[in-house]
Amino acid sequence: MNYTLHQLQVFLKITQTQSITKAAEELHLTQPAVSIQLKNFQDQFDIPLTELVGRRLFITDFGKEIAQAAEKILHEVHAINYKTMAYKGQLTGRLKIASVSTGKYVMPYFLSDFLNLHQGIELALDVTNKSKVVESLEQNEVDFALVSVVPEHLQIEQIDLMPNRLYLVGNMDQQFQRKSYDISLLEAIPLIYREKGSGTRHVMEKFITQHHLPVKKKLELTSNEAVKQAVIAGLGFSIMPLIGIKNNLHDGELQIIPLEGFPIQSTWSLIWLKGKKFSPAASAYLAFLNKDKDRIIQQKFSWLEHYKAAR
């Protein structure tokens, strides 16, 4: 046998996602590249690793055993790399973070300087929906989780990073001339929602419930990007985080409709299980955030305050 570490990485990701498409996305590869690596890996075994039933990919029992072995091999390779870096006096290890989907507009800016400073640290950043983020944290699979709504059922500690402001937005087809509208406007327009469990939806529904507004739910979509495209296409309006629509506002694809009581606000917080024993990499990152978060906000997110002032 002559399989490569890359083939092991690809096959392991396929078993974790049970999808070539999703594996390609998470590995930042094309689908054909992942399919070729799977075929080359499979060619080295007489027993099938996967099987296709209809359009669904399934991992065989043999494939699951090979995946477990692959995970152990890759873990040992990481350990060798970390020991080599540590021997050179560099901070090493894996930093594991789960982030809710809209957090992709926030988390990278709080990571880049730290990772540039400590190039021996490997980042595992999983951007997914809120329920999976909370599950990863609950199962102690990650060091930290970035959320905009803190889960109430877990004993956690946290560091608050920055405000998360949400506005009512629509496309440019309709003109809104007033400086401010009553929130009863929400009763007259079709609203596009995020999926259940989304932090954005939680904040949105909390506001609507508190004000007893009989709104019209037009659509329910599973990502911030899908909601944006639906709003731009004229399918309805939505309440969205300002952090995720900067370019769309600048390009004239979206507009903020000024409502009394808006923006609605939550907080971007990095949370971890209470009493968690941190790795050296995780401890160093938390110390970095406590020291540098204000500088990062000023350098990378000052436009939020300027935009608010301009409104």
Question: pLDDT digits over 109-120, tens only?
Answer: 999 999 998 888
pTM: 0.70
Nearest-angstrom CA–CA distance, 311 and 308: 5
Give the rounded percent of residues in the chain with a pLDDT score beyond 70.
95
pLDDT, mean over the chain: 90
Measured CA distances, 264 to 80, 199, 230 (Å): 48, 12, 21
Is the backbone peptide bond immediately before 263 cis, with ω within 30 degrees of 0? Answer: yes
Nearest-angstrom CA–CA distance, 146 and 133: 8
Q: Which CATH number applies to 164-265? A: 3.40.190.10
Instruction: Specify the amino acid at residue 243.
Output: I
Residue matched to tokens 């065989």: 60
Instruction: State the pLDDT confidence band at 85, using cuts at 50, 70 and 90.
Output: low
Of the options 1.25.40.10, 1.10.3470.10, 1.10.10.10, 1.10.287.70, the CATH number for the domain spanning 5-85: 1.10.10.10
Other C-beta atoms closer than 10 Å to the C-beta of 161 total 22
CATH 3.40.190.10 residue window(s) in the chain: 91-162+267-310, 164-265
pLDDT of residue 304: 87
Q: What is the pLDDT of residues 129-153, one digit of tens each?
A: 888 899 999 999 999 999 999 998 8
Kindly state the average pLDDT of the residues 8-33.
Answer: 91
Q: Show the CA angle centred on residue 285, arms to residues 282 and 289, nearest 5°.
A: 140
Whether pLDDT at 69 is above 60? yes
Q: What is the pLDDT of residues 187-217, one digit of tens each?
A: 999 999 998 888 899 899 999 999 998 888 8
pLDDT of residue 39: 93
Instruction: State the pLDDT confidence band at 89, using cuts at 50, 70 and 90.
Output: low
The distance of Cα 42 from the centroid of its chain, to the nearest Å, equals 32
Instruction: State the pLDDT confidence band at 307, using cuts at 50, 70 and 90.
Output: low
Residue matched to tokens 């096959």: 11
pLDDT of residue 264: 93
Q: How many residues are present in the chain?
A: 311
Asked whether 168 and 262 are in contact (CB, 8 A), the reply is yes
Whether pLDDT at 106 is above 90? yes
Kindly state the average pLDDT of the residues 103-112.
Answer: 95
Nearest-angstrom CA–CA distance, 35 and 132: 27
pLDDT of residue 310: 40
pLDDT of residue 311: 46
pLDDT of residue 163: 94
Asked whether 25 and 14 are in contact (CB, 8 A), the reply is no
Instruction: Specify the amino acid at residue 303.
Output: W
pLDDT of residue 90: 65
Kindly state the average pLDDT of the residues 243-253.
Answer: 93
Residue matched to tokens 């938390």: 286
Higher pLDDT, 307 or 109: 109
Kindly state the average pLDDT of the residues 263-279.
Answer: 94
SS3 labels along the chain: CCCCHHHHHHHHHHHHHCCHHHHHHHHCCCHHHHHHHHHHHHCCCCCCCEEEECCEEEECHHHHHHHHHHHHHHHHHHHHHHHHHHHCCCCCEEEEEEEEHHHHHCHHHHCHHHHHHCCCEEEEEEEECHHHHHHHHHCCCCCEEEECCCCCCCCEEEEEEEEEEEEEEECCCCCCCCCCECHHHHHCCEEEEECCCCHHHHHHHHHHHHCCCCCEEEEEECCHHHHHHHHHCCCCEEEEEHHHCHHHHHCCCCEECCECCCCEEEEEEEEEECCCCCCHHHHHHHHHHHHHHHHHHHHHHHHHHHHHHHC
Whether pLDDT at 87 is above 60? no
Whether pLDDT at 309 is above 60? no
CA R_g for the chain:
23
Instruction: State the pLDDT confidence band at 51, using cuts at 50, 70 and 90.
Output: very high
Nearest-angstrom CA–CA distance, 220 and 203: 15
Instruction: State the pLDDT confidence band at 53, using cuts at 50, 70 and 90.
Output: confident
Of the options 2.60.120.260, 3.40.190.10, 3.10.20.30, 3.40.50.300, the CATH number for the domain spanning 91-162+267-310: 3.40.190.10
